[in-house]
């Protein structure tokens, strides 16, 4: 299989895609004993030997996890305030990072990977990947407000909308299931806050159709089938 040299370098984990391009143009990359400074150069991953600054590199294995995030973990790879981070919950030596984010006290489905292309693919706003949430409100959601959430309301001058607003229990309008298709920070809380509600609890039930179906704090690898299906579903 052939891939671009800069992609191969970034997938080895030693540099970002941009930094990899710099390494190439600086003449620090050698393929089969020859310096390559052409950014469009493609290599055969099975046969070519790639060295950066004299060290042989090889691409990493891609990892894909789904975590059922518990409360009290920050969705980040490190935290200056020394709070617990979601990556600490996953036992791997590889450098993985979360796909999008959930607030400190939000629970539920969070994907983690070391595949930057996969993460960018799913979080790109144009894909409008669905995120399904269970929301516990401070008071019953009025019918008029349910309609507004479905029609769209403005948050910081930008329209936000839910694709679905449903009640799993018809008698309890404080518990609402919503589907949003964007990853703005605090999106669900801000949608409700704009209409005068406080979100007391938030749980993400699925992301891009992927469910966790494991206890809080547990994680599992995504199956090959889940990965292929999710890419096929949003590749447009
Ligand atoms: N929207 C929020 O407000 N918080 C989350 O954690 C996720 C979506």
Residues 138 and 92 in one domain: no
Q: Give the alpha-carbon dihedral of 189, 192, 193, 196, to 10 degrees.
A: -160
**pLDDT value, residue 79:** 85
Cβ neighbour number for residue 96 with a 10 Å cutoff: 21
Could you confirm whether 225 is annotated as catalytic?
A: no
Range of the domain at 28: 2-56
Q: Residues of 120-134 as b/e, b for ≥16 C-beta within 10 angstroms?
A: ebbbeeebebbbbbb
- Whole-angstrom distance, CA of residue 126 vs CA of residue 60: 28
Task: State the pTM of this model.
Answer: 0.82
Q: What is the CATH number of the domain that holds 166?
A: 3.30.2350.10
74 lines ligand 1 (CB under 6 A): no
Q: Residues of 169-181 as b/e, b for ≥16 C-beta within 10 angstroms?
A: eeeeeebbbbebb
Beta-bridge partner residues of 136: 175, 201
Cβ neighbour number for residue 119 with a 10 Å cutoff: 19
202 lines ligand 1 (CB under 6 A): yes
- Whole-angstrom distance, CA of residue 152 vs CA of residue 195: 11
Q: Which of 76, 99, 102, 201 gets mutated to test ligand 1 (max ligand atoms within 8 A of its CB)?
A: 102
Residues 119 and 229 in one domain: yes
* Residue in 103, 117, 156, 225 annotated catalytic: 103
Q: For residue range 187-211, list pLDDT tens digits in order.
A: 999 999 999 999 999 999 999 999 9
Q: Which of 35, 56, 77 is where one domain is finished?
A: 56
Tokens 């469009």: give the residue.
40
Q: Contact at 8 Å (CB) between 43 and 65?
A: no
Residues 202 and 227 in one domain: no
Residues 106 and 201 in one domain: no
Q: For residue range 62-106, list pLDDT tens digits in order.
A: 999 999 999 999 999 988 888 999 999 999 988 899 999 999 999
Low-confidence ranges of the chain (pLDDT < 70): 236
Q: Which residues are CB-contacts of 56 (< 8 A; sequence separation ≥ 6)? A: 49, 50
């Amino acid at each position: 299989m052939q891939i671009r040299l800069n992609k191969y370098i970034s997938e080895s984990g030693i540099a970002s895609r941009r930094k990899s391009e710099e390494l190439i143009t600086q003449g620090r990359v050698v393929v089969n004993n020859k310096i390559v400074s052409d950014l469009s150069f493609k290599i055969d991953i099975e046969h070519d030997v790639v060295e950066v600054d004299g060290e042989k590199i090889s691409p990493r294995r891609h990892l894909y996890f789904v975590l059922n995030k518990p409360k009290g973990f920050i969705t980040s790879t490190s935290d200056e305030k020394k709070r617990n981070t979601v990556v600490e919950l996953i036992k791997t030596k590889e450098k993985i990072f979360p796909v999008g984010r959930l607030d400190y006290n939000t629970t539920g489905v969070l994907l983690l990977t070391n595949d930057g292309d996969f993460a960018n693919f799913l979080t790109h706003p144009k894909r409008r990947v669905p995120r399904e949430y269970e929301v516990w409100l401070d008071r019953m959601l009025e019918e008029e407000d349910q309609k507004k959430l479905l029609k769209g309301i403005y948050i910081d001058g930008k329209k936000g909308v839910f694709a679905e607003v449903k009640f799993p229990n018809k008698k309890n309008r404080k518990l609402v299931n919503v589907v949003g298709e964007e990853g703005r920070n605090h999106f669900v809380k801000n949608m409700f806050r704009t209409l005068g509600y406080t979100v007391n609890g938030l749980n993400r039930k699925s992301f891009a159709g992927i469910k966790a179906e494991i206890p809080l704090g547990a994680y599992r690898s995504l199956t090959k089938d889940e990965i292929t299906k999710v890419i096929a579903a949003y590749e447009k």
